[in-house]
Amino acid sequence: MKIAKIINNSSAEVKGHFSDVIYLQGCRRNCGYCFNPELIPFNSGKEISKHDIINSLSEFSDVVVITGGEPLYQDIDVDDLIIEIRERTEKKIILETSLIVRIVYDKCDKVLFTFKSFDVINEWDIDYINHYDNIIPCVVIGHKWFDFDGYKKILKGLKKPLFYRFYNGRLQKFNEVFRLAKIYNVELKRLDKICLD
């Protein structure tokens, strides 16, 4: 697998837990507001075996966060990695993604699903997100590329709270994001850290 980096014993991602954060290299999207643009190229990072990844996990952490880049562009390997983590550890698994890959989701304790390319989301994806309790839907607000038409499409079908994160702390179009959520009767919640409870 192409790995950009692994951070052990992080307290930044999951509320009340230490986690090992695995950053997978590569993303085919070109989001202007990307938080980790250095993770976009597929020709960067380091090839590391699943065995070595698992051996690098900390004995003090109780959660593994798999993120990127976009981890599910390595979907077959990610599926295998999750299975091996399950078999060889007792750690909880959180996947951060913006792709619908059902077979992978079912193996995770939580999936932080961030809406990025609003145009590729359809009503079946929203139904799937509604159906599974382990999926946390999230939008990133405060950047000039925010797609309000796509946002309305999400709000129209969503039957659970929608979490939000700020892009570099900016409040751009913040009031409109909340106004539309109220119209569509969707509760908005700020996401600082992921909760496993």
Tell me the pLDDT tens digit for each residue of 126-148.
Answer: 988 999 999 999 998 888 888 88
In a domain, 23, yes or no: yes
Count structural domains, the chain: 1
In a domain, 167, yes or no: yes
Least confident of 19-28, 102-111, 122-131, 170-179: 170-179
In a domain, 18, yes or no: yes
In a domain, 197, yes or no: no
pTM confidence score:
0.92
In a domain, 175, yes or no: yes
State the pLDDT at residue 108: 94
In a domain, 125, yes or no: yes
CATH number at residue 148: 3.20.20.70
C-alpha dihedral over 157, 159, 161, 165, to 10 degrees?
-20
Residue 168 has pLDDT above 80, yes or no: no
- Please state, in angstroms and rounded to a whole number, the distance separating the CA atoms of residues 24 and 78: 9
In a domain, 22, yes or no: yes
Residue 35 has pLDDT above 90, yes or no: no
156 or 102, higher pLDDT: 156
Domain enclosing residue 19, as ranges: 2-190
Q: Are 71 and 24 in contact (CB under 8 A)?
A: yes
State the pLDDT at residue 171: 66
